[in-house]
Structure formats: structure tokens, C-alpha cells
A and B are shown apart, each in its own frame.
Chain A
């Protein structure tokens, strides 16, 4: 279990560091900036479905956050 926790911690720390090696130029962000590339599709619709499901499962919450990785919002 301890090894699993350490692996997770390492991934969380190393992941963002690796991200610095990647650059999507502003002129390449047309697709990422489009509403179709939001993580929740339509955040309002996702929130509505989540609100309904949360009351029917024993492990609700924590599915992610809204927004995207394009720097457009």
C-alpha cells in the first residue's frame, strides 16, 4: 500500500514537470478552445446529471473539474 502511495505521489509530482516539455502554441489552440473540447462537454448538463446520480450512489463526487486545458477560460 505504501508503495502505491509513493507511486501516486511521484506521478503527481513528475507529471506537471513533464508537462513543461510540451507546448501547444496559441495558434494551434483552435480545437482545444472550442466548446466541444470542454472536459464536461456541457458543464451545466454534466452538473444536472451529477446532481441526480449523487443521490443514488454510495461514492459520489470527485469526478473532476470543469474547464479545459487551453487557457481559453
Chain B
């Protein structure tokens, strides 16, 4: 029971013995500076979960994304650059925004079943989001088996530029900035809806005293405006149009995880694999491994690695103006989003966790437990086709630093 108390975090489904409240705070710093662009995101967050009775937990929290950097605002490829050799056809724009996301929820328990409901509100200058999440989790076979079913629904609004009445997508112009997007009646601003339905089913199983597995299936339906309103793509000589993605997307993934404890060397090994497919013709595979060991009581160190590879969307092209395949136009949609291009990534990271669980009394006279965590990861992206005016992106390396503290009272 002792170490299990530390395992109970904000999202756990049952309270530990005398624990009444858990306060979590997490801080993440992300930075990347590939060719001609850069992005820095600081994400602070805090959550409080209170369990006044064994059958109920009430929780609330807040998270922010503080974003600054420069991103591509006009995208072209090498075919266009080749016929416009003297021009710098790529342009970038500075990005500065803050996303605020307060959230609240409740967990109800009856016997081996836990029901969770949560609401999150997200707001930034050019985007608003209402998100609900519900789940049911139950245990079977002497608690060796867990099933969880969850559903999430987003009701989002995306700001965009008002287009001329008679214009069609190839003539649409990109949004210049995020001013006057909400709360005003500016005739040059409009709002598009975006709805997301997500379903997940997971089966977790303990097979032996050292081996557990998890199988998860996820499906998602997205309907609405999914382009970046700020990004334009050069479609032909002298024709620049706002990015134009399909309005519907159905996504599915299956993930399996294996967790094994190697007793002779006292090391936990986690191996995961995931396959994904969607109606935009993106197929991806992910493999990851993490090994973790106690260096001394309460102090764990983990090393992790991750490999990811995806194909491009059916309408992806690095240059819609022409050139030999895979360049050239791809029908009625176009994008300048490198996330929709074929690429792979490799990530390596290190994580430290220190948990203090006093056998008697409370830490500082207050806490029944304290957990400190820190992690550092580096991710190298390798783009197969994506270029900026024909210049390959060779230094797309991201760094992620994270720290978190969890205190139980």
C-alpha cells in the first residue's frame, strides 16, 4: 500500500487512505528553431483535487500556453523558386499568443466502477474551445483487469478573415493578425465552427506479478475549419491562396503497451507501439521504450526513446505550381503544414522522479506525501519532402524541458 499512495495523482480513480487533497503543478518549456522559423512555448499548469468522501473527488485546474516565435506565413516549393530565382518567395510572421484553459471535473465511485466528468474552457485571441470529457472505468477478475471507456466532445470556434462574397478558395486571403477576432463586430472578421468527437476504449491487464499490458483503441471525428487561417500557399505564378484543408477527418489508432519488471536487475521496462490511420491518408507508426530504476529509496531515474514515422496527407505537395511527382497540384485542397508532410522523428529523454512518503506524521506538518519530477527530451525531425522554397529543413530539432511537483495533504 505504501508506494501505491504516491501513484495516486490527480487523475487516479480512487483515493489513498488519509489523503484528502492533491495539489499538482507542472511547467513545460518547448523550443525549436529550424530553418528561418522558431517557436518557444512555456506551459505552466496547476491542479487541485479534493476527496471529501471516498466516493467522490472534485478537481479544478488551470493551464496556459505562452507562445512566441516566427512561423511560415507563405509557403512555396522548389519548382516555383526555380522560375523565380531572384525572389525570396517564403515569408514568415511573428507569433505571440497566450492560451488560457481553466478546467473542472468530478469523479464518482461505486464499488469497482469510477465515473469521471470534466469540462475545459480554452481561450486565446483567435480560438475558443468548450470541451467535455466523460469516462467510466471498472475492474474485474480480482482487480487484475481494468476496462475504461471515454468520450470527449469539443465545440470550438476559429477566427478567420472575411472573404469576398464571390471569391472561391483559390482566391481566399489569409488572416493578417488576431486582432478583433472575438467580442467585436468587425466586418473583416468571421468565426468558423470546429467540432471534435473522440472515443477511446482501453483494456489493461496484469498477467503476472511482473507483467502488465494495455490495449487502447481511439477514434475521432473532426468536422469544420481545420486549416491555419494565417498560412498561404503559392498555387501558381502570381496566385497565393489561404491554406485549404478538407472539413471532415476521421482518425483511428490502436496502441499496445507492455510493462515488465526485470527482478534480477530491478529495472522496469516499458515498450509501446501504436499504429494510426486517417481519411486524409496519413498512416503513422510509433515505437517507444522506457527503462526505469530506483537509485535509492523514492528516487527513480528513467531513460526513454521514441521513433515516429508518418506518410503525407493525400493532398500534400511541397509545390503546387508544378514539377515532377511528388510535386505538383493535388486536387481541390492545399496545405503548407509540415505536419501533413511525410516525415520521421527520433526522440531521446531522461526523467528523474523523487517521492517522499513519511511513515509517520506529515512533511512540514502538512503533507502526507510529496513528489518531485523533472525531465529533458530532445527530438530530431527529418522531413522527406518539406522545403522552404526548395531549401530542405535539416536542423529541425526540438527541446522539451519539464518539471512537476505533486503534494498530498
Contact = CB atoms under 8 A, between A and B. Distances in A.
B284 A51 contact: no
Nearest to B377: A49
A42 B351 contact: yes
A53 to B, nearest CB: 7
Contacts of A70: 4, 143, 206, 212
A6 interface: no
A57 to B, nearest CB: 6
B7 A20 contact: no
B212 A48 contact: no
Secondary structure dominating the interface of A? loop
Interface in A5-31: 8, 12, 15-16, 19-20, 22-26, 28-31
Contacts of B202: 64-65
A35 B298 CA distance: 10
A19 B144 contact: yes
A39 B259 contact: yes
A23 B145 CA distance: 9
Interface in A29-63: 29-39, 41-45, 47-49, 51-53, 55-59, 61-63
A51 B402 CA distance: 11
Interface residues of B, number: 95
A61 to B, nearest CB: 6
A37 B261 contact: yes
A47 B159 CA distance: 28
A8 B255 CA distance: 12
A69 B204 contact: yes
Contacts, number: 236
Contact of A49 (B208, B212, B268, B400): B400
- Most chain B CB within a 10 A radius of its CB, from A25, A45, A63: A45
Contact of A69 (B206, B373, B379): B206
B89 interface: no
Contact of B7 (A12, A26, A47, A73): A73
Contacts of A48: 26, 28, 43, 375, 400, 402, 404
B82 interface: no
A29 B272 CA distance: 22
Contacts of A35: 3-4, 6-7, 300, 353, 355
B290 to A, nearest CB: 6
A30 B217 CA distance: 29
A41 B142 contact: no
Contacts of B340: 58
Nearest to A64: B216
A69 B276 CA distance: 24
A61 B154 CA distance: 15
B346 interface: no
Nearest to B9: A43
A52 B3 contact: no
Interface in B359-388: 373, 375, 377, 379, 381
Contacts of A33: 1, 3-4, 7
A35 to B, nearest CB: 5
Interface in B137-162: 137, 139-148, 150
Interface string B263-278: 1000010101010101
A12 B218 CA distance: 13
A45 B375 contact: yes
A61 B253 contact: yes
B204 A65 contact: yes
Contact of A65 (B214, B220, B282): B214
B73 interface: no
Contacts of A63: 216, 255, 272, 274, 286
B125 interface: no
Given A52-B377, A67-B204, 13 more contacts: A16-B147, A29-B209, A32-B261, A39-B259, A56-B345, A59-B251, A59-B310, A61-B218, A62-B253, A64-B255, A65-B216, A70-B4, A70-B212
5 contacts: A22-B208, A41-B292, A48-B26, A48-B402, A49-B400
Interface of B: 1, 3-4, 6-9, 11-14, 24, 26, 28, 30, 41, 43, 137, 139-148, 150, 198, 200, 202-210, 212-218, 220, 251, 253-255, 257, 259, 261, 263, 268, 270, 272, 274, 276, 278, 280, 282, 284, 286, 290, 292-294, 300, 302, 304, 308, 310, 313, 337, 339-340, 345, 347, 349, 351, 353, 355, 373, 375, 377, 379, 381, 398, 400, 402, 404, 406
